Amino acid sequence: YAAGAVLFMGDQTVDLNDNTNQIYTYASNDINTNYQTMLAAAGKPLLFTANTPSTVVTYSSPSNVFYIAFNGEVLFNHMTLKLNTKKATRIFTLSGDITFGASFLTFENSISNTTGNRSLGIDYSSNTQSSFNVRIYGGDWAYVYFGSASATRENKLILGNGESNPYVKLICYNNTNCQNSNYGYIRSGRVGNLSFGYPGTDRIVSGKMDITVYGGQIDLISDATTEYSKTTNLEHCNRYLTFDGYTGSVVFSHLNVGTAPGTAGSYANGINRISFINHTNLNIASNDVYLKASPVAAVYVDTTSFVSGHTFFGISHDFTFGEQTIMLDLDVIPGILLGFDGTKWIYTYGMDGLSAIPQGPEFTYSAGMTITMPAYSDIVLNGVNNNPDMVFFAWMDREGVYHYEDDVITVPDGGLTLTAVWAAVMNIDPTYTENDSNGTASKPFTIFNDAYLAMAALLKKVPCQAAAFRFIGNQIWDLDNNTGDIYAYASNSNHTNYQAKAFNLGVPVLYTADKDTTVVTMYSPSHVFYFASHTTTIFNGLTLLCNTKSSLRFIVNTNEYIYGSRFFMNTSKNAIGVDFGSLAMEEATVRIYGGTFSFVYLGTGSSQKICNLIVGNGTNEPKINLLCLNNSNQANQNYATINSGTISNLSFSYPGTAYNNNASMSVTVKGGIITHIRDFESAYCDYDHLLNSTRTLIFDGWNGEFTYAHKNIGPAADK
């Protein structure tokens, strides 16, 4: 047989003092004789049950026993257990799991723990197997005591099955030396006090206590059970709490634990990490939640969950003046991990060394919705566990397609799931004076070249999907400084080093700053006026000033550009523009959601290539003085969509006279301001002016007015 069963027919008493046939082994100590009884091993799992759930089975030993042990797996179900034992009684196995089914009952009012009707509890400490599972689906319990002195053992508690209604008055650590990993899964029922402490004063408590709450009712969650402890035991205990799909309210309680009654604490006592996931809706009904950094505490709310009520405090590492707490001073951002490092709150990732790069957040949308990409671009994730700092780069769907902040899309059939793509970031602050730069916000580099070389080295070690450079404070980006040979320059017969192109990092690149108003001066007053990239490049969250030889032209080659809504131009020096003329890919899209541009030149010489331009997303306000075709031999298809912003001059032509330009140009206007529209730029053309070019203008839901200009172009200025 796979298992055995003991079936109790009718109410009856099991005399634990009757050792006929030596079925019990007793244990004694200096204080208590025969305080523990262990039933002889059955060799197979054993079920204790009765003919009805209301059948009362009384375990009796009023003068001796208060520990009941089994050697092997046991299950209690379909019966009512009454304890006529010496005092509150612990039940456990030395080996094998123990389960109490949904129709297992304890005698009425047993929680009161009176003579003849003692309360029942679980004790993990004596079980010797590597993993000990306790399942409680029924009954009223005085306590569940986690913990083992062996650091290699793993204890698990499953409370409720989602429908059953057990009650546990107290869940906490045992009043013993506990050093192992302990896990609790609360699915239903009620817990009076979920305590991340222990009911004693002089034990060593380390290891881990990790509780996940799916359902049920938690009356109180506390980080200590007693107000003092002779040793700083809880300092080295890791305590994690997760609400997974939970709806309800809880009350938290915090104790500043000292080493003697009435003394202030000398170490941080609090939860290490608290998480809210999978549509949790929790109200912190009373008191704040206190967290300790070991080395970093964490608060996590996923994109589906909501937390209200009281807030979170971090406990400072500095106990010079007793316990000092620091209130959470950052916004709770869905899907972003909040960390507390003992001195300050940060956004972070990669806790417990789980990942060298951030995972998520993730958003899911239903088909037919029109959405603007969530805005995460001003978030800096501080790396812990020697991981690099990160900033947000883009969103990626399940097909691997990138969607950028400010993009507006209609969700296709089948829905859309977006996952955040993060960029490793190197910070640059020319005012930093130490010699320990590593690119983090606290230890930035002082010049761009050093940051670029450090990024190249980092990307060889960490598989990041993008790279970012974050300028802290107003500064010069010296395009003439080629320390480390980071730039390849282009020259021609008229201009030396007119184009600067940094070497390929192999990933997309973001340029940003600590504030939108931070002015970054691209500097090359005698040489550079073309800037090129190898990969997709974003400018956002900064103000650009171009002290270059002339207006700075951003060249589209093997890359695309995104100018975010938080990209600004300081126009006190030269202007900027975008030029598609050197496009080397089959198709490229430039998005302009912010900034002030002197020009955008569409078109390239290959008829097989496609140039796309998106201006605005319907709410932001970029500005372009001139949108037209390029001043070269163009032959391709060009498409522009104007959703918002201002186009001063929309020209279906090119600013020149000596090119055979046959590119097609299709512009769709959905919003924004269009001041002038015209079909020419010059008064004449050496060739038949755009004779084979198809030029299309579509107004799609647009309201406004413009001035139109037409010219009948001839082969000379007077024709």
Residue-level pLDDT at 532: 97
- Residues 6+ away with beta carbon under 8 Å from 82: 56, 57, 58, 59, 106, 107, 110, 117
Query: What average pLDDT does this structure show over 153-174?
Result: 97
> What is d(CA 309, CA 248) in angstroms, rounded to the nearest whole number?
12
Nearest one of 206, 214, 180, 211 to 193, comparing CA atoms: 211
Token code pair at residue 341: 């490092």
Q: Give the whole-angstrom CA distance, residue 20 versus residue 42.
A: 16
Question: Residues 6 or more apart from 320 whose CB is under 8 A from it?
Answer: none
Asked if residue 642 lies in contact with residue 667, where contact means CB atoms within 8 angstroms, the answer is yes
Give the start-to-end residue ranges of the domains of the chain.
473-709
- State in Å, rounded, how far the first CA of the chain is from the last one: 107
Q: What's the pLDDT band for 225 if we cut at 50, 70, 90?
A: confident
Query: Is it the case that residue 155 has pLDDT exceeding 90?
Result: yes
**Predicted pLDDT at 350:** 75
Q: Is residue 10's pLDDT more than 70?
A: yes
**Coil, strand or helix: which one is 13?**
strand
Mean residue pLDDT of the chain comes to 94
Q: What is the mean pLDDT of residues 32-38?
A: 97
Confidence of residue 354 (pLDDT cuts 50, 70, 90): very low
Q: Each residue of 646-701: pLDDT tens digit?
A: 999 999 999 888 777 889 999 999 999 999 999 988 888 877 778 888 999 999 99
Q: Which of 189-203, 251-265, 660-674 has the lowest mean pLDDT?
A: 251-265
Q: How far is CA 35 from CA 16, 90, 143, 377, 391, in A?
A: 11, 11, 18, 64, 60
Q: What are the tens digits of pLDDT across the range 76-122?
A: 999 999 999 999 999 999 999 999 999 999 999 999 999 999 999 99
